[in-house]
Amino acid sequence: MICNQKGGVGKSLIADELTFSFERSNIPVAFLDLDNQGGTIHKTSQPDNTLVSVIDTPGALQPQLAEWMRESSVIVIPTRTTSRDIDLLIRMQQIVKVNASDKPVVYVFNGWNRWRASSDFEEWFKQHNVSRNAYVVKLPQSEQFVQAGAAGMSIVKYAKRSNPVLATLNMVNTIRVLAGFSPEDSV
């Protein structure tokens, strides 16, 4: 499950890339787009032979969020690395702590760059992370994500062997392993 009450942090991008990863590995995947704002390449589908479900949640708190967390194997919380995202990230950490403290949580620092705001955010996070089972991955700031999305494809196929591709593969493989799947073979 990919969740954050804040919009614009990359939930749909991550949901699509994770789904593309399972598709490339021929693992039957259900895709549930619960965010009616759109923005995903994939459309909601639930094949009969599904082995894994990827859930893209809305950018707002939902009454069902606690239940979704309890039912999920892995919780993915994307965030931008700015001070504007801190209060909402703290709230998401508290929701996880109350409802799914036993679940692995993957924090995706989306839009990571070499500027001070990203490194300051990382320092803040190290001091304020409340999750015992927390993993951090970083997706770099890159126009290639936008270009791949406009082409309706995964960045892994769009921009082979670039830094954003390597970061995306690291992200999907971290999530896959935590969910009990083998890492995707390198492209």
Domain map (residue ranges) of the chain: 11-178
pLDDT reported for residue 187: 57
* Cα dist from 25 to 29, 125, 150, whole Å: 10, 33, 23
DSSP states of 43-67: --B--TT-SEEEEE--SS--TTHHH
pLDDT greater at residue 34 or residue 164: 164
Please indicate, yes or no, whether the overall pTM of this predicted structure exceeds 0.85: yes
Closest of 175, 45, 138 to residue 184, by C-alpha: 175
The band of 125, judged by pLDDT with boundaries at 50, 70 and 90, is very high
Q: Let me know: does 96 contact 1? Beta carbons within 8 Å.
A: no
Distance CA 140, CA 136 (A): 13
Confidence (pLDDT) at 62: 77
List residues bridging with 78 in a β-sheet: 108
One-letter amino acid for residue 119 of the chain: S
Comparing 57 with 21, the larger pLDDT belongs to 21
User: What would the mean pLDDT of 163-182 be, rounded to a whole number?
Assistant: 97
3-27 average pLDDT score: 94
Q: What is the pLDDT of residue 158?
A: 96
Question: Quick check: helix, strand or coil at residue 183?
Answer: coil
Q: Which amino acid is at 107?
A: Y
CATH number assigned to the domain with residue range 11-178, chosen from the 4 options 2.40.160.10, 3.30.1050.10, 1.25.40.10, 3.40.50.300: 3.40.50.300
Rounded Cα distance, 128 and 142, in Å = 27
- Among 24, 1, 12, residue whose Cα is nearest residue 184: 24
| pLDDT value at 161 more than 80 | yes
The shares of helix, strand and coil residues in the chain, as percent rounded to the nearest 5, are 45, 20, 40
What is the reported pLDDT for 34?
87
Are 96 and 79 a contacting pair, CB within 8 Å? no
d(CA 38, CA 27): 24
